[in-house]
Chains A and B, each alone.
Chain A
Amino acid sequence: MSKFAAIAGIGQTEFSKASGRSELQLAAEASKAALDDAGIDPADVDGMITFTIDNSDEIGLTRCLGVKDLGYTARIPGGGAASVATIHQAAAAINSGACEVVLVWRAMNERSQYRFGQPMAPPSGGVVNIAGNGTGSLLWCMPFGAQTPASWGALATQHYMNTYGVTNGDLGYVSVAQRKHAATNPLAWFYGKPITLEDHQASKWIIEPVLRLLDCCQESDGGVAIVVTSLERAKDLKRKPIRIVSSAQSIPAEVEVISNYYHADLNVMPEAQGVAKRLYQRSGLTPKDMQLAMIYDAFTPQVLYQLEAFGFCDQGEAKDFIKGGNIEVGGGLPVNTNGGLIGEAYIHGMNNITEAVRQLRGTASNQVAKMTNALVSCGMAGAILSNS
């Protein structure tokens, strides 16, 4: 019988625009909440995993939690594109015997302490350290005026939109569906605030002709944590275990995070195709076996690329797939039922994983009926989670 790891606990702080406390405190609060949810003493954590661009320190967090003896740490490159890779690596660490209780976290004050989406002043002089960002944006984009995540992403996307005749108006269907979900999710920043296609089209251009304001995720303050342990151990804990059926990373040749301009075909997201291939091969499951897709939605076009890469629709057809309520709760494939990074908060993909867990537990605000399997993707990594 195969060994499986499972998600035993989830936790978070409130999602806001001004947390009023340090990033380390957000990390500690979210971690404690996740461990309480699982029913595990924080002292017993023996593995910690996060991903680059998190300012908190593993050792600082062990001091807060009173961890007795940390036996394993990993910090994954790629920023948000590594968010689901935390689940992949936690499962690998547990299944290998390297550790038994892995705490995964992300906590940032990316709205109040700094502005994640603002233009970055290009550094002058000295050695530039971009290790772990997975992007050449600083080097190859800055002096041309592409200085924000929105501009880096949109530059590749315009090619895709031109190829398949996708308009910015088409992208509005993603925003409207996700804001509808956020409107009925009390955890969401945009709780009670749905939008219409007209609102989307009236919002200002961020990157013309690709992204308007309502195509972009938020800048958020907040923390999210997830506890992973063996399925066997999870069965004895407080919550019903959410099994990690399969998990994968994929970083194909010439692929970069977000400044992703150098691979062969700009109409596809090769990293998501690679993740899809591995997830389906390893699990024996198919797109039709998923009742929910939680898809990294830093910007609306990323949802379209991933719907195609994961085989929910054919290449170039995502612009039609997203219409007619198909990606809403009650539709053919509910997507980002918490509102996603656009509607709930931008905790770099981590809050899309916790929503999948809630859906599989049956405790989501916008509950999908008859949940068995959920796909979670952040582009360069993904996982299939199950309650069976």
Chain B
Amino acid sequence: MSNETTPIRPDPVFTPDAAFFWEGVTRGELLGQRCSDCMKITHPPRPMCPVCHSIKRETVKLSGRGIVTSWVIPRHPAPIGFAEAPIVALIELEEGIRMVSNVIDVAPDAMKNGIAVEVRYAPTKGGKAVPVFAPAKGGARE
């Protein structure tokens, strides 16, 4: 992917309870939501801790390291905002949460479950960014 090209990827949708996530990513930080009382990390974020019901919450910097739990390639109809069909993946982060993302720098033929990945950032058309994942240095982890 060339950096010269104008980004066409759709912008993320900001909601009051998830704005911190996208704002962090746009600054180049992968943030999670942690309960200030019981320390539970929750994704997707929400305004109350489902374990202890605290509404006190803080953002925590995530490792950005994880493994591919599931992946697909949307072939038809072509997704809006992508020059080529992306690899859409579920990433299970070291912190024990899952998030939907893309895997980059892997050929579709070489794609498989269990690949160790680490976070990168991809710009969107409106000047925001989303977290994407590339193979971690050191390769697949069994």
Contact = CB atoms under 8 A, between A and B. Distances in A.
7 contacts: A118-B77, A122-B10, A122-B11, A145-B88, A145-B102, A156-B70, A205-B73
Report, nearest first, the 4 A-B pairs whose CB atoms are least far apart. A145-B79, A159-B70, A145-B86, A205-B75
Contacts of A121: 10, 80
Interface string A207-233: 111100100000000000000000000
Interface in B54-77: 69-77
B11 A209 contact: no
B11 to A, nearest CB: 6
Contacts of B80: 119, 121-122, 147
Given A143-B124, A207-B73, A159 B113 contact: yes
Nearest to B130: A143
Interface of B: 9-13, 15, 18, 43-44, 50, 69-82, 85-86, 88-90, 98-102, 108, 113, 124, 126, 130, 132
A162 B13 contact: no
A188 B78 CA distance: 29
Interface residues of A, number: 42
A40 interface: no
A293 B85 CA distance: 37
A356 interface: no
A139 B70 contact: no
Contact of A204 (B75, B89, B99): B75
Contact of B100 (A148, A155, A204): A155
Contacts of B86: 144-145
Given A121-B10, A122-B10, A261-B98, 6 more contacts: A123-B13, A140-B99, A142-B13, A144-B101, A156-B70, A266-B69
A32 to B, nearest CB: 36
B76 A145 contact: no
Contacts of B98: 261-262
Contacts of A213: 76
A147 B13 contact: no
A206 B88 contact: no
A249 to B, nearest CB: 20
Contacts of A205: 73, 75-76
Given A144-B88, A146-B88, A119 B77 contact: yes
A261 to B, nearest CB: 5
A124 B71 CA distance: 26
A146 B89 CA distance: 10
A195 interface: no
A150 to B, nearest CB: 8
Contacts of A207: 72-75
A302 B85 CA distance: 24
Contact of B90 (A122, A128, A145, A159): A159
B44 A155 contact: no
